[in-house]
Chain A
Amino acid sequence: MTNKDIKIESLITDLKSKDRWVYNMFVMVFVIFILALTATSIVFAIEEQYDIYNTSTFLVYLLGIAAMGYFGFQIASEYKDVDYGIPTVLMLEGAVRRYQLLHPKSGALLASILFLNLSQVIGCLKFRNDPDFIQRIINSQIPLFVGGIIGFAIGITIWATKQKPLKDRAQKLLNELMSY
């Protein structure tokens, strides 16, 4: 088996195409992030009442968008940041970190959902004197609660079936490498 068996030119074409795809994904995440920020700012700017509720809703919503943007960049970076040219111990440590359940990227997603939800709750506070205030809060929480449970179940299943075995294997190899 030689390099000639592997068509280098065709491989390079595929790899460049993959690089372009990753670059486009970064651009797309960035554009979505900017659009979401702009849309939120416009909605806030045309709001007639700049009271404490609207301002807090806007600021917390911005935090939610920022956390979502961070999550998007974390996902997009996963391919770009891969480096096989580091020592094996560091590569395995990186794999264990990357595939653990409580990863910064899942933290960012959770923070984003919480901030977006909190902004909704703050938005409802201006109706606190209405008789249906509690019902309004509950109604705003039901979709999040149901979506959260479904999302959590899907997330845990994907992690347990795809990422946990990789984490366990990397940890096992690391333990073996570090035992003298």
Chain B
Amino acid sequence: MKTQIILVCLMITSVLFSLISFVHKCYSFHDILYLYKDKIPLEVEALLSNDLGVPLLLARLLHNKLLQISVDVYSILLHYFDPFFVSTVVGLLGLICFGLGWWYILGNFRRYGLISLPFLVSITYEIFFHRSLMSGHIYFLAFSYVLISLFGGWQFARFHQSIKVIICFLILFVISILWSYFLPSELYRFCIQR
């Protein structure tokens, strides 16, 4: 239990370091993080323009709005799992714990699936209803990332209680702080900044 508390304290400190900067600076997201429905017909049109000489039926089968929406949603969804986006929200240590969190959630979804619910709700709203949301959505999204990260860290600490693990976490903690401090922020890639 002692190890768990130490690890979680390290993690919370590291997560807070990035989180404060994220929620303070990020006002809203760029287009890449939500579905812009008006763009879909234009994208299909652009793709079709290269299909000169291709039978219309085939061209329509391969380039249509349904396929394009699925491709776009998939791409946007992956942005929310991009290591640089996640590390912008919860830091490097948080990113590793975020990965661990999903590992434990997917490993036993019936038991831990509920923990991923805020995350799933949050990104669903971000992707589809971003524009109609109020300014608090960034906080809710950040909370869902923190929740999964903390869960991942907590579970890992539960099963690996040793001095080696504490040392590893400590090293990662230091790297995480240095990462946030020294490297140029990736925030501009995802956020409209305040």
Q: Do A and B bind each other?
A: no
Q: Which residues of B contact A (CB under 8 A)?
A: none
